[in-house]
Each structure stands twice: as C-alpha cells, then as structure tokens.
Amino acid sequence: MTDTSRKLPPVHEAWLPREHSLYRPRHGKRQVTALVCAAAFFAAPALGWVFGGRPSEIENRELASFPSLADGWGFFTGMPQWATDHLVFREGAIEAADGISHGLFGEPAPMGQGEGTGPIPGVPDGPQGQSGDGDAQDGQQQNAGYTEVIEGSDGWLYYGDDVKGKCFPERPLSETFERLDRIRHAVEASGRRFVLTIAPDKTTMVPQHLPDSYAGKECSTETTERFWKLAAQLRSFLDVRPSLEDAEQQLGHPPYFANDTHWTDDGAVMLTRDVAEALQPGVTDTWRSRGVGWSTSNGDLASMLGRSEPKTSVRYELMPDGSTDRTQDTLRKFDGPVRYDADAGRDIEGTIGAPTALIGDSFTFASSRYLPAAFADLTLLSYPQLGDHKKATIDTFIRSEIVVVQTVERSVAEGDLPLIDEGFIELMERRLAANPIR
C-alpha cells in the first residue's frame, strides 16, 4: 500500500488553505514590491528614450546592446547590464557620488575600483608575496589595494593596469618577447619587412605625477626597467620613447592626456613620423604639419571615475609632400581591417609606396587620423578584435610587403596579447611560408 501522507498536495501552494503548513502566497507584499521595482528598472531606459533622454558612454567601452532572443538564457542575463547602461541619469548619479565621496571623505567613490583605494598595510607588493594557497587567495592578493584608476598630482590620472599587469603577469616577460619575435621571423622569412613598436605606458613616460605610495609601486618599477632592456634586444624594434621625450621638450608638457590613457595628437603625429622613418630613412624630410583647430572628447580615465572631463588636443594637418594635406577622419570604430588605398601604385613624395599592414590597439586608433597620410596603401587592423578576424588579418599580411605591429607596454608586460596566441602564430607561420614575396 502506498503511503500518500508524504506526497505534496495536488494543487499550487498558493491555493491551499492559509492554515496549511505548506501554504505560500503567490505574490506576497515583498514580491509585489520587488516586481514593481524590477519593472521600473527595465522600463526606465525605454521611457527615457521616448521622452528624449539619450544615454552616453561614460566608461572605456561601448554601451551594452539589447540582448537577443537567440542568446537563449543569455537574453535574461544580459538584460541587467543593458538596463544599467541605458539609464539616462546614470552619468549624473555617478558624478554626484564621486563629488560627495571626494568632498566628504577625500577619496574617489569605489566604483569599479577593486578592493580599496590605496595600498593596504601588510599587503605584498607583487607576486613575490603570493603564498600559493590557491586561486582564491591569489585573486584576493591581486585585487588588494590595486585600483582601476590611480589618482596623481595636479589632476593627473593613471590606468591601474599599467601597474597591476606588471606585478601579476599571465606569462613570463621573456616568453612574451619570444613570441613577438616569432612573428617577426615569420614575416621576414617570407620576404616581407617588419617593424615592432611599443607605446610606452603613461606611468613610464610621465611618472612625476604619480602618488608617493600606491599598490605595486616597487614591483612595477622593477618590471619597467627590465621590460625596456629586453625590448632593446629585439630585432626590427622601433623605440619611440626618445621621440616622446623630444616632443615633451618642444611642447613644454608631456604628449599624453592628463585624464586619459593615450597620447595626444602630438604623440600620434610622432608615431606616424617614426614608423615612416624606420621603414624609409629620410622620407619625412619633406613633411610639414600645422595646427588647424582642436579636438575634444571625454577622457577615458575620468570616465572610469564617473566624471565628465574633456580631453583637448591640437588637431593637425599632415602634408608629406610639404603642401598636400593627407590626413583622414579619425576612425569612429576599430574592428575589422580598414584599408586606405586610393593612392595605391602612385609615387607620392614623402610617403611609403609599398602595401603595408599595421596591426595595433587603441594607440593606433588614436593615431588613425595621421597614419594613412604616410602610406599610399595602408590597412589598419585591431589585434584586440583578432579573434573575429584571424583569416582577414593573415590575408592582409599576405597582401602586404610591410607588416608593422604596434602594441602597448602594459599588454606586453602582462602577456595578454591575442597576437601571441599559439594557434594564431602557427597559422600565420604556415600561411606566410606558403605565400612568400618573390
């Protein structure tokens, strides 16, 4: 005989008598309140749009797009980020929180800042202090005291990854350089020319505004010194630090933004000139440039702190032949290959005529107004998006006679480069070996 005393009732728990031990209301008062709040949260972006409100990108990334039903459960997990990004009053709220935190407590609001806003006494200064007791402890040590943005003197801000990536690299620095050198060897073995250049971190070029004490100071300083010694030993390496130092002397201020991770247009013109000279010494003898106005946008580091602070730079015309401005509109989006080949095959004074592929990151993006001016046939590629464009990237290398790789110090130091993925390097080596320049 079956014991039915332990079976659940054949009706929903909300339909049971209130006296029943299993009775639960379908929508209690707290549930109703939660549902109303959730509905208001998700409806606010749509209502704001209807009444003319438009969200803005206040962080160093694009706004989250509306999730697709094709994402399955990802549709539901992606909704909170979309709703958060598209709250039109979010920027004002973050700015208010940051202002209150600075005014009352003398420190930035902890928005995306990790655990703490400065060095914590007793926290090991780098990987040498890790005890190896597991990933959880390692993660706590990596986060303790390290901030997304380091606030320096005179309004200067620094990207926290400039420091943290050097103290907690994903792989040894020597291994990263060895993989970059494999790329060089594969390109040059196929008969093509190769140049590697590394944009220095702002912490390297403008250290005078860093605070006296911050998490990772000792280990990052030691790594920086070792980094550039190893870089100098690479073949086909273009060191742009001397030119940046010269630019600072001429300008009277560093060619970096105080509230952004990147260099100004002065740095972008410098990069363009140095790459051209490395490929064809003397080609820039005829170059002329002149200021034609100002460019203004939001500083990405300030945005990470929830502030709307403009970064402003002189915008230039660049005339390689001394008279014709060849600058282009700055890219609005940097994803797949972007080719500038209107002058392919033409002999233009002051330019590099050979088809050239230049794969880089946000520093290439920041220099995209000027780089095309130096080449008759140039294709710009983004290695952060390499995973979506491996074939197109290698096809561009094969089509080109020159390959330039631009990366940034912090990414190389951390070893976090899609370019040095073993699968990509092996595929590139095979394809270039099969398609040499005769």
pLDDT confidence of 25, banded at 50, 70, 90?
A: low
pLDDT at 99: 55
Q: Residue 346: pLDDT above 50?
A: yes
Pairing of strands 338-340, 378-382: antiparallel
Residue from 98, 196, 88, 220 nearest 151 by CA: 98
Q: Residue 105: pLDDT above 50?
A: no
pLDDT confidence of 70, banded at 50, 70, 90?
A: low
Segment among 36-50, 254-268, 332-346 with least mean pLDDT: 36-50
pLDDT at 71: 63
Summarize the confidence of residues 137-151 as an average pLDDT: 71
pLDDT confidence of 188, banded at 50, 70, 90?
A: very high
Can you give the residue ranges of every domain in the chain? 165-434
pLDDT at 151: 95
Amino acid at 247: A
Summarize the confidence of residues 61-74 as an average pLDDT: 63
pLDDT at 308: 86
pLDDT at 123: 32
pLDDT at 48: 64
The percentage of the chain sitting over the pLDDT mark of 70, rounded to a whole number, equals: 68
pLDDT at 412: 97
Segment among 111-125, 180-194, 379-393, 417-431 with least mean pLDDT: 111-125
pLDDT at 120: 30
Whether pTM > 0.85 for this model: the answer is no
Summarize the confidence of residues 60-67 as an average pLDDT: 61
Average per-residue pLDDT in the chain?
82
pLDDT at 130: 38
pLDDT in tens, 386-418: 999 999 999 999 999 999 999 999 999 999 899
Q: Residue 312: pLDDT above 50?
A: yes
Distance CA 269, CA 247 (A): 10
pLDDT at 145: 82
pLDDT at 438: 74
Residue from 202, 147, 190, 137 nearest 409 by CA: 202
Distance CA 325, CA 75 (A): 48
297 vs 78 pLDDT, higher one: 297
pLDDT confidence of 339, banded at 50, 70, 90?
A: very high
Q: How many CB atoms lie within 10 A of CB 22?
A: 9
Segment among 72-76, 169-173, 382-386 with least mean pLDDT: 72-76
The whole-angstrom distance between residue 377's C-alpha and the CA centroid of its chain comes to: 26
pLDDT confidence of 342, banded at 50, 70, 90?
A: very high
Segment among 21-35, 115-129, 282-296, 417-431 with least mean pLDDT: 115-129
The CA-atom distances, in angstroms, between 182 and each of 178, 234, 393 are 6, 11, 16
